[in-house]
Structures are given as structure tokens and as C-alpha cells.
Amino acid sequence: MDHELYGLIGRASQGEQEAFVQLINRYKGAVFRQAYAMLHDRMEAEDVSQEAFLKVYSSLAKLEQAYAFVPWLAQIVSRLCYDRIRKKKRENTFIEEDIEKQIFFTQAPSSVEQKHVQLNIEEAMQKLSPEHRMAITLRDIQGFSYDEMAEILKIPVGTVKSRIHAARLALRKELTE
């Protein structure tokens, strides 16, 4: 993380709106991708993204270390997604698929085959448990380290490693069926 970002976080935590807008612009894509990877619903992911930034705005002054901003933000998004998933389960509803939903990869497919592979991966991801989806999203899509994931998920590093291993096995199994 660079000094410019530390300064931006510091100014935003002191109430400077322009600094907060810059933080939103810098992280809105990553927040949306994380939420979408968990929820597989564009509207829900957009709602979670907005809700996450509202939570950040209301509690940024409480963040003690600027270097902890990214894991802290990811943790907020994770909790909001888990809350939505639990609520949906309680209501016995299913998350609808949007036929034209944007796949969590940042680049559009360059061929029909790539698009087919991406759709297969997305369908397989939907079949994983929320914990396995989150493990793959944080590690393989967003590139968090094991230590960062342990901090975000509030679990031991060993549990993170075993969850990633189990998630990858489950994903591989789904893709080969």
C-alpha cells in the first residue's frame, strides 16, 4: 500500500468528502466483484457495495491503522454477503440468475470458448458453499494472502488453508462432472 493511500484514508477518516469519494472510486470495483462472487446477483452485489461504503463512511474514524483498510473493507463486504445469504435461506428463496450477468473476471472473454469456460466456472462456483466461494474469491480472484484472509474471516491461518484446499477440490469436482 502506498503513502498516497494512507494519506487518503487519513483525510477521509477526518471527514474530507473528496478523499472518501476517491476511496470509493479506487475500491468500488473490487468491492462489487467480491460481493458478486458471493451472491451471484448483480442487484444484490450493487446493494451490498453501497451498504459497505455506508458502513465504511460511518466507522472509518474508528479504524486505527490505515494499512488495515483493505482487509477491513473486505471483511465488511464478507459479513454483509453472509447476512444476505442467511436471510435468503431463512426466507426459503433462491438467488435468481441474471442471464447477462457480468462474470467476476475483469476482462471480457475474447472467444466463445472462453465465455463457455467462464460460464462453467461461474455455475460451479454457485454450487459451492458460501465458505468455499469466499475462500476462492479472496485467494484466487482478489489475491489476498493467507494471513489477510485469516484476519478478514476471523479464523486461524490453518483453517484458511484447509478451506481453500477443500474449496478447490469441490470446484474441480463440479467442473469435471
CATH no. for residue 113?
Answer: 1.10.10.10
Confidence of residue 158 (pLDDT cuts 50, 70, 90): very high
Instruction: Report the alpha-carbon distance of residue 134 to residue 81 in Å, rounded.
Output: 10
- Is the same domain home to 9 and 82? yes
- Select from 14, 94, 23 the least CA-distant residue to 54: 23
- Is the same domain home to 143 and 87? no
- Is the same domain home to 108 and 71? no
- Is the same domain home to 53 and 133? no
- Is the same domain home to 62 and 134? no
- Is the same domain home to 39 and 85? yes
pLDDT for residue 92 is more than 50 = no
More confident residue, 85 or 57: 57
- Is the same domain home to 95 and 118? no
Instruction: Report the alpha-carbon distance of residue 61 to residue 13 in Å, rounded.
Output: 5
- Is the same domain home to 70 and 133? no
pLDDT for 66: 84
Counting residues of the chain whose pLDDT is more than 70, the rounded percentage is: 84
Q: Are the beta carbons of 164 and 133 closer than 8 angstroms?
A: no
Instruction: Report the alpha-carbon distance of residue 173 to residue 164 in Å, rounded.
Output: 14
In the structure grid, which three cell numbers stand for residue 91, read together?
Answer: 426466507
CA distances in angstroms from 84 to 31, 81, 98, 110, 122, listed in the order given: 15, 5, 17, 33, 19
Instruction: Report the alpha-carbon distance of residue 124 to residue 59 in Å, rounded.
Output: 36
In the structure grid, which three cell numbers stand for residue 57, read together?
Answer: 463512511
pLDDT for residue 98 is more than 50 = no
- Is the same domain home to 4 and 89? yes
In the structure grid, which three cell numbers stand for residue 42, read together?
Answer: 448483480
Point out the domain boundary residue: 99, 132, 147: 99
Which residues form the domain of 138?
Answer: 103-177
Confidence of residue 89 (pLDDT cuts 50, 70, 90): low
- Is the same domain home to 77 and 111? no
Q: Are the beta carbons of 138 and 81 closer than 8 angstroms?
A: no
- Is the same domain home to 54 and 20? yes
Least confident of 73-77, 102-106, 148-152, 161-165: 102-106
Point out the domain boundary residue: 99, 127, 156: 99
Confidence of residue 99 (pLDDT cuts 50, 70, 90): very low
**How does DSSP assign 101-156, residue by residue?**
PPPSSSSPPSSHHHHHHHHHHHHHHHHS-HHHHHHHIIIIIS---HHHHHHHHTS-
pLDDT for 112: 65
**What's the burial of 12, exposed, middle or buried (CB within 10 Å: 0-12/13-18/19+)?**
buried
- Is the same domain home to 51 and 72? yes
pLDDT tens for each residue of 7-63? 999 999 888 999 999 999 999 999 999 999 888 889 999 999 999 999 999 999 888
Point out the domain boundary residue: 67, 99, 131: 99
CATH number at residue 22: 1.10.1740.10
In the structure grid, which three cell numbers stand for residue 119, read together?
Answer: 460460464
Counted domains in the chain: 2
